[in-house]
Amino acid sequence: IRERTLIAVKPDGVQRRLVGQIIQRFEMRGFQLVGLKMLQVSEELLLQHYTSLCKKPFYPSLLQYMTSGPVVAMVWEGHNVVRSSRMLVGDTNPAEAPPGTIRGDFSIHISRNVIHASDSVEGAQKEIALWFQSSELIEWECCD
Ligand code: CMP
């Protein structure tokens, strides 16, 4: 099934110049880019994006981290892109992410884990609607 997912290179990934390598991994895998922008994320957006986490003890530091610099947000499309992206990205905790995954190759700490990837098709739909206007997304006519 063709689906879409939200991928965001977090401030540490942008500062470390990892955007190009991350895009390359999604392109190499065969996914299609349908949206891309760099933005300074607002606290309002983060509150909606991380609603399930707002009671967690690490939430204030998560907010501080996610607003510490620009984020590069992307929408990728393709067959099983949500699940495959999670595999490309690796476990939330980089210590559990195998080498070859983005987190397994580029990060060591859960609170600076370089990249976000939607965790389900429904979650992806909500996140894409939150981060992008439909006019910012390309409707490709051909697939796979
Ligand atoms: P992600 O899965 O993209 O979205 C939630 C984020 O919260 C997660 O990445 C981490 O950046 C952060 N996070 C999750 N658990 C912890 C934790 N125990 N300590 C610090 N940050 C966390």
Q: Which residues are annotated as a binding site for ATP?
A: 10, 58, 86, 92, 103, 113
What's the rounded Cα separation, in Å, for the pair 142 and 140? Answer: 6
Mean pLDDT computed over every residue of the chain: 96
Cβ of 62 less than 6 Å from ligand 1: yes
**C-beta of residue 40 within 8 angstroms of C-beta of residue 133:** no
- Give me the residues paired with residue 117 across strands: 7
**ipTM value for the complex:** 0.92
Which of the 8 DSSP states describes residue 61?
H
Across the chain, which distance is largest between two alpha carbons, in Å?
Answer: 45
Share above pLDDT 90 across residues of the chain, in percent, rounded to a whole number: 95
Point out the annotated binding site.
Answer: 10, 58, 86, 92, 103, 113
- Confidence band, pLDDT 50/70/90 cuts, at residue 141: confident
- Cβ-contact 134, 75 below 8 angstroms: no
Please write the tens of the pLDDT for every residue from 8-28: 999 999 999 999 999 999 999
- Residue whose CA is closest, atom 22 of ligand 1? 111
120 lines ligand 1 (CB under 6 A): no
Residues that are catalytic: 116
**Ligand 1 binding pocket includes 42 (Cβ within 6 Å):** no
**Measured in angstroms, how far is the CA atom of residue 142 from the centroid of ligand 1?**
36
Mutate to test the pocket of ligand 1, among 56, 65, 102, 107 (most ligand atoms within 8 A of CB): 56
Rounded to the nearest 10 degrees, the angle between the axes of helix 81-89 and helix 19-29 is: 130
Task: Please name the residues in contact with 79: beta carbons below 8 A apart, sequence gap of 6 or more.
Answer: 1, 2, 3, 144
Read off the pLDDT of residues 62-108 as tens digits, 9 standing for 90 and up. 999 999 999 999 999 999 999 999 999 999 999 999 999 999 999 99
Contact indicator for 35, 132 with CB cutoff of 8 Å: yes
